[in-house]
Structure 1
């Protein structure tokens, strides 16, 4: 009888030891800890806009407009960037210009290196994928889901709304000389050169 009790006690001790040595964790918590970290679209966009956008080389806006006027489809296909099967192509352009008109949605400038060419710099309704596609900073195949990819555009546009446009609108005056750089969308099936809008990614005042 004593031997049976002894075996029972030993068994209990072994079971207690094994129980205390095993750590049971909730499956959801494990997935959250070890799953891939969430993509920071805002951090990605802000890092680009603050460190790389200013050094990014754009096409001369005057050259851009001249080439579109010659053969918009050929120029877009050879020089533009588009996402998948689309009629829309994206570019980054830049130029020195003189401010001619200040409106609620756009600032119209005349190109210094152009032939009486005017361009609209957007100051409102900043949306779409022009910056992301024009700068080619992201490739959809590099992202696990389309939401991450789309959020890059959202955050790039937010940065422009919050950091580029407010100081520009606050300080710009008629006859100011500026240097602008920005993204442009061209739909080869619906081309209107007078209606192209440049979404600014960098604007500098050059007044002495």
Structure 2
């Protein structure tokens, strides 16, 4: 009996070791780095991808007010026009619009290109080429609704992402070619503050810039 028991013990320990080994093997999950990154990103909002898709698929058909008409409407009745045609976020004096037009480049500055609207007798417009920030594009285009996002960080990151795209993809090619005297087509977002309006320095955050 002692011999049998002594023989059973090694077998018992061997079986236990095998079972533990199988359990440990099944508890370990191997995945590639790409699979891990994909899993981490799944379900996580990607503002850069959102901004890129907007610029690639929505921009051409984005409704816009003709720039000359826009300025005239502001001069005629700023409060009524902004209330009826502008977009704003919450309780604010800031209204946002998408405008487009043709114009002549009068001056190329370090932060803006000054454009005279074609056939317009009103003030010049500033087309931003640097210090591009804020929510003008997001709000003016209506590309995102705060109620569709779980947190304000995701919502705010859209403005950052689309502004970055403007700085890297839209402005540089234009600035390499544009010269004073060029006729251009522009489309972009404008912010108007109804409490302190400055119609002489309306600044467009560009979405499209084409030299004719």
Mark yes or no: TM-score above 0.5.
Answer: yes
Distance 1:82 1:116, change over 3 A: closer
Q: Does 1:146 align with 2:152?
A: yes
- In 2, Cα distance between equivalents of 1:198 and 1:178: 14
1:117 and 2:143 correspond: no
- Matched with 1:43 is 49
1:67 pairs, out of 69, 73, 78, with 73
Q: Using a 3 Å threshold, how does the CA distance of structure 1 residues 149 and 117 change in structure 2: closer, same or farther?
A: same
1:95 to 1:19, Cα distance in 2 relative to 1, 3 A: same
Change (3 A) 1:25 1:69: farther
Instruction: Identify which of 132, 137, 140 aligns with 1:134.
Output: 140
Contact 1:81 1:90 in 2 (8 A): yes
For the 8 Å contact 2:123–2:199, the answer to whether it is kept is no
The aligned counterpart of 1:195 is 201
Instruction: After TM superposition, give the deviation of residue 144 of structure 1 in Å.
Output: 1.1
1:55-81 CA distance string (max 9 Å, x none): 322101111111111221211110000
Distance in 2 separating the partners of 1:73 and 1:35: 47
Unaligned runs of 5+ in 2: 1-12, 30-36
Q: Determine which of 88, 101, 117 is the counterpart of 1:82.
A: 88
Instruction: Assess if the C-alpha contact under 8 Å between 1:82 and 1:90 holds in 2.
Output: yes
* Aligned residue number for residue 108 of structure 2: 102
Q: How many residues align?
A: 202
Deviation at 1:85, TM superposition (A): 1.1
4+ residue runs over 6 A deviation: 15-23, 32-36
- Contact in 2 for aligned 1:95/1:113 (Cα 8 Å): no
Look up the match of 1:56: 62
Contact kept? 2:94, 2:192, Cα under 8 Å: yes
Q: Measure, in 1, the Cα distance between the counterparts of 2:125 and 2:40.
A: 47
Secondary structure of the 2:60 match is helix
Q: Structure 1: state its 5+ residue gaps.
A: 1-11, 27-31
